[in-house]
Structure 1
Amino acid sequence: MGQDLLLGIDIGTYESKGVLTTPQGKVIAQATIAHKLLFPRAGWAEHDPELTWWGDFCNLSKQLLATESVSPSDIKGVGVSAIGPDVLPIDENFNPLRMGILYGVDTRAVEEIDELNAIYGEDTIFNATANTLSSQSTGPKILWIKKNEPEVYKKARWFVDATTFIVARLTSRVVVDHFSAGTMVPMYDPWKN
């Protein structure tokens, strides 16, 4: 094609979407892939990060690049967004150590929410983070992993969300944008960052 193009991929709860556009926003190609949401127990909701998050990113990219007259060298920028907040422990090579624990639909960490509120106080958490703890919060889910899957917790180099996982795979760097970090209650202080 010989023109500058932008690749955008969004990993959703039940499907992922991809688009190729010009820098001016003209859509060149788009594609979707359906995927499974896993419910291994009542109150749990998970994704397979290799199959769903990374796999969908790769498959959508291949589909979009297969569009007639599009060359990989035409891609000048990549945008990634994904469901969240979610939690995935990864090792130093960005390999998942378990399935990704999804956002508020996964309620396994109710006891950990109560525990953190008792330790730090609901007002203290709210004043520090501008959020209260809920099933959306990543902190209680990390504590759940520490208590229930200690071997996974010990092996984890980072706890990331789906977007950060994909970006780490693409760039070999673990970086978190401020919006995603804001969901990492009670660990992120929006007033200092």
Structure 2
Amino acid sequence: MTTKPKIALIIGSTRDARFADKPAAWMLKQAQQRDDLDVELVDLKDYDLPLFNEAASNKWMPSSDPHALKWQEKIAEFDGYIFVVAEYNHSITGALKNALDQAYVEWNRKPMGYIGYGGVGAARAVEHLRQIGVELAMVPVHGAVHIAGGDFMAVHPMGANAEIETIEDHLIPAATDMLDDIVWWANATKAARG
């Protein structure tokens, strides 16, 4: 019997004024409409991760901080990940980078996808995240969702603050492609890890 891959939708911003909740809720809805994966929202705000301060990555030795251990246990539950990506100065948030650094073996040989938002749809941050994923032995998928330009201003609170459904006809093809990639690679890597 084949079980559906379990995918984490990780909110990569912890700011009180973050926009991430809106695209995360939309992406969660898209994933939940499918019958070929199970998805769970994972919010970095819920983990209170300290700045990485271990003697080494858990690739080389076990972590000691209880917050890091809790995070590693959570991340280990999943067969793949979709990151909700903000772009800060052409890269990902410090909170997301720290969360990525707090684990290693838990990320290995699992796919990663992206929904990014901002002026250029977090394209530069997503590209940087792909490079980080390669170093963590992850499988960056080709597909990504980018909420950019006029679409971003249509749904952002500093713009028209409309619901994402008002622009989703621009996003659904990319979301479908990315979710298809995640499912295919999650099933392939899960079988290979088994």
Question: Normalised by the size of structure 2, how large is the TM-score?
Answer: 0.25
Which structure dedicates a bigger proportion of its chain to strand?
1
Is the radius of gyration larger for structure 1 or structure 2? 1
Normalised by the length of structure 1, the TM-score is: 0.25
Higher helix share: 2
